[in-house]
């Protein structure tokens, strides 16, 4: 059986009892960086064979993980911090296992962007996780343009050296919006700093960041400045029958057709 195991994103005490149990029972552990994972294992006196599974060798590692699982070994897969696959290696492994019909599971735990969403105090009922933006500015813009008109709260990962550049290009694409820079989650210097994209972020640039940005505001239909009767007439003059014109005007104004019906009687 293969288990993807979420590990702490800062505070080692955030490891779950189930995660520790899974790591202790594993025959082998595949990890993003053996030097990093050994610190976690040493903290809980766990000694297991460690093999690398990172973005440069994931396909090869996936085949080894599959082979081990097919031979009845218990395999644990971890990344340096947080949940594997989410902005970390692991997705190719999932695909290889799924294609081979080999079952796998997730031992859930810490996830940085979920913690940041809570700490930001921005709307969390509907959101989208975008992850890291590309390096080149033109590619950053291309990604952001896809979400320019979305009303979802947006969450991005950002390295400390990229925060200023990322915020600047967000302002260029999104315009001014409320945002929050969350860093050092679960650590002693954890902070969530609210700011406006127009002002930029001038806080501490240390630690891994999650940038949370509010979604686009609903745009007011320009036809709503007309009177109710003029609004309906606008669509009728465009060739729609009265029933369809009434329907369109009601949708523009965010009201039911019955509210506008009295204005259409003599048209």
Q: Which fold has domain 2-107?
A: Cobalt-precorrin-4 Transmethylase; domain 1 (3.40.1010)
Per residue, what are the HEC states of 80-96?
CCECCCCCCCCHHHHHH
Token pair 């202790």 in the structure block, residue: 24
Say how many C-beta atoms besides its own lie within 10 A of residue 49's C-beta.
9
Same CATH topology for 2-107 and 112-213: the answer is no
Decide if 179 contacts 195 (C-beta within 8 A): yes
Q: Which residue is associated with the tokens 């460690």?
A: 50
- Two tokens, residue 16: 């779950």
CB atoms closer than 10 angstroms to residue 29: 24
Residues of the chain with pLDDT under 70: 220
Question: For residues 18 and 3, is the Cβ–Cβ distance under 8 A?
Answer: no
Q: Cα separation of 160 and 204, whole Å?
A: 9
Phi-psi region of 88 (alpha: psi -120 to 50; beta: other; left: phi over 0): beta
* pLDDT for residue 20: 98
pLDDT score at 199: 95
Burial 130-163 (b: 16+ CB within 10 A, else e): beebeeeeeebbebbeebeeeebbbbbbbeeebb
pTM: 0.80
Pairing of the two strands 28-31 and 127-132: unpaired
pLDDT of residue 220: 66
* CATH homologous superfamily for the domain 112-213: Tetrapyrrole methylase, C-terminal domain (3.30.950.10)
Please report which helix (H) or strand (E) contains residue 51, including its range.
strand 50-52
User: First CA to last CA across the chain, in angstroms?
Assistant: 71
d(CA 252, CA 224) in angstroms, rounded, equals 7
Domain residue ranges of the chain, discontinuous segments joined by +: 2-107, 112-213, 222-263
Token pair 């950002």 in the structure block, residue: 158
Give the span between the Cα atoms of 110 and 9, in whole angstroms. Answer: 6
Please, are residues 11 and 32 in contact by the beta-carbon 8 Å criterion? no
Is 124 strand, coil or helix? coil
What local confidence, expressed as pLDDT, does residue 133 receive?
97
The pLDDT of residue 238 is 84
């Amino acid at each position: 059986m293969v288990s993807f195991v979420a590990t702490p994103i800062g505070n080692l005490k955030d490891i779950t009892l189930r995660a520790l149990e899974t790591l202790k029972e594993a025959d082998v552990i595949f990890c993003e960086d053996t030097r990093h994972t050994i610190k976690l294992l040493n903290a809980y006196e766990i000694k297991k064979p460690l093999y690398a599974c990172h973005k440069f060798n994931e396909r090869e590692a996936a085949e080894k993980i599959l082979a081990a699982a097919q031979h009845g070994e218990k395999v644990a897969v971890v990344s340096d911090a947080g949940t594997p696959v989410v902005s970390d290696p692991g997705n190719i492994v999932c695909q290889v296992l799924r294609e081979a019909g080999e079952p796998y599971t997730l031992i859930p735990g810490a996830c940085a962007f979920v913690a940041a969403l809570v700490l930001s105090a921005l709307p969390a009922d509907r959101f989208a996780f975008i992850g890291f933006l590309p390096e080149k500015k033109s590619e950053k813009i291309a990604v952001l343009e896809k979400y320019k008109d979305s009303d979802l709260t947006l969450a991005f990962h950002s390295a400390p050296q990229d925060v200023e550049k990322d915020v600047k290009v967000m302002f260029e694409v999104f315009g001014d919006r409320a945002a929050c820079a969350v860093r050092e989650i679960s650590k002693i210097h954890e902070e969530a700093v609210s700011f406006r994209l127009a002002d930029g972020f001038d806080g501490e640039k240390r630690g891994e960041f999650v940038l949370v940005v509010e979604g686009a505001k609903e745009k007011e239909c320009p036809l709503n400045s007309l009177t109710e009767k003029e609004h309906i007439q606008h669509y009728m003059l465009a060739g729609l029958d009265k029933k369809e014109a009434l329907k369109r005007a009601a949708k523009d104004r965010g009201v039911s057709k019955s509210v506008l019906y009295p204005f259409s009687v003599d048209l």
